[in-house]
Amino acid sequence: MSTTEEELESEEQAAAPDGDDATPPEDVPTEPGETGGAGGEPPTGPPLELGAGAGLPDPVRDRLLLPLLLPLAAMAAIALYVLNVSRVFLAGGDGAASVVTAVLVTLGILGGAAVISASPRLRSSTLTMTVAMLLVAVVSAGLITLGPSEDKGKGAGAAYKQPKGPPTATLEVDALPSLSFQSDEFTVPGGILEINYVDKGGSHTLVFEEQDFAGFQLAVPDGPKKGKVEIKEGEYTIYCSIPGHRAAGMEAKVVITPPPAG
């Protein structure tokens, strides 16, 4: 075989594809961690360390603090809400202002509950901010109406000058916790009338509707519980001046008959 034929045969063998008798390539060693190690086994090594305290339960917080503090916080929030909303109602008096205030508060509560229920994916931070803003608004309203909601009649009795001399008749009026007097009509003779206001429960006042007795006031339990008026024959009205009490029925008629002769 000539040199030219040998060269051609060598080129044909080099260009031919690998067949069954082709020598397989030798295994190339891989670096640890690239293909999972020899034999396809997962790599072995020290486990990854978690961050300090990540995902670990706190038994003191979960079993002691939260069960104790959450109910206390809820009760404090409810008490704060009721106290300040009550001040708003008391400041409204017995007229339409109380009704309007009650309607607005009711609509606000229903509207807020509807918005929260319609937003199941509401973020906790947004919900917390909404509740905080509501509490701030309620507390602000309570502070603004603190003065008008208080009873201003405690010291009003000092403005009324009581008559001198012994009483000619005595009237006893019971202040009941059911926001009423023991009777809706009293009959006494005219003259110097001494009124005894008896505490049967709750905080109440006793005033006259007539301007002739402006400034006269009795109160329980703080007092004064006894006072005198010089009253003439006729019909008069007494009531409790605390907002809402008269509307609930705490008023009565006082019928004055002619004073006894001699």
CA distance 211 to 228: 16
Residues 174 and 249 reside in one and the same domain:
yes
Q: Is residue 9 part of a domain?
A: no
- Residue 227 has a CB neighbour count (10 Å cut-off) of 19
Are the beta carbons of 154 and 222 closer than 8 angstroms?
A: yes
Cβ-Cβ contacts under 8 Å for 214 (sequence gap 6 or more): 159, 160, 208
CATH number where 196 lies: 2.60.40.420
Give tens-digit pLDDT for 18-74.
Answer: 555 555 555 555 555 455 445 556 556 555 555 554 556 677 667 777 777 777 877
Instruction: Decide if 154 contacts 204 (C-beta within 8 A).
Output: no
140, 231: one domain: no
- Do 70 and 135 lie in a common domain? yes
Number of other residues whose CB lies within 10 A of the CB of residue 167: 16
Question: Which of 1-10, 109-118, 222-231 tops mean pLDDT?
Answer: 222-231
| 122 within a domain of the structure (yes/no) | yes
Higher pLDDT, 78 or 209: 209
- Strands 191-199 and 226-231, by their bridges, are antiparallel
pLDDT bracket for residue 258 (50, 70, 90): very high
Domain boundary among 101, 124, 149: 149
For residues 166 and 235, state if they share a domain: yes
Total count of domains within the chain: 2
Q: Band of the pLDDT at 228, cuts 50, 70, 90?
A: very high
pTM score over 0.85: no
Task: Please state which of the ranges 110-124, 182-196, 237-251 shows the lowest mean pLDDT.
Answer: 110-124
Q: Do 223 and 196 meet the contact criterion of CB atoms below 8 Å apart?
A: no
> Does position 79 have pLDDT exceeding 90, yes or no?
no
Task: Please report the pLDDT score of residue 133 as a whole number.
Answer: 78
- Picking from 22, 17, 40, 145, the residue whose alpha carbon sits closest to that of residue 92 is 145
Which position has the higher pLDDT, 17 or 179? Answer: 179
Backbone angles phi, psi at 243, to 5 degrees: -50, 130
DSSP reduced 3-state for 214: coil
Distance CA 116, CA 124 (A): 11
My answer on whether 136 and 165 are in the same domain is no
Would you state the pLDDT for residue 156?
42
Q: Say yes or no: 86 and 165 in one domain.
A: no
Of 188, 177, 175, which is closest to residue 233 (Cα–Cα)?
188
Query: Does residue 187 form part of some domain?
Result: yes
Q: How far is CA 239 from the centre of its chain?
A: 32
Q: What is the mean pLDDT of the chain?
A: 75
* Range of the structural domain that residue 201 is part of: 156-257
* pLDDT class of 153 with cuts at 50, 70, 90: very low
- The more confident residue out of 42 and 123 is 123
Which residue among 113, 130, 149 closes a domain?
A: 149
Mean pLDDT of 241-254: 94
* Residue 72 belongs to a domain: yes
pLDDT digits 0-9 by tens, 158-213: 578 899 889 999 999 999 999 999 999 999 999 999 999 999 988 999 999 999 89
pLDDT for position 157: 43
User: 258 or 63: which carries more pLDDT confidence?
Assistant: 258
Q: Does 124 share its domain with 212?
A: no
Q: What percent of the chain has pLDDT over 70?
A: 61
**DSSP string over 118-167:** T-TT--HHHHHHHHHHHHHHHHHHHHHTHHHHS-TTTTGGGGS-PPPS--
Number of helices (H), then strands (E), belonging to the chain: the values are: 6, 9
Is there a single domain that holds both residue 161 and residue 241?
A: yes
Please check the confidence at residue 94 and state whether its pLDDT lies above 70.
no
Residue 154 pLDDT: 43
- E-strand stretches of the chain: 169-176, 180-181, 185-189, 191-199, 204-208, 217-220, 226-231, 234-239, 251-257
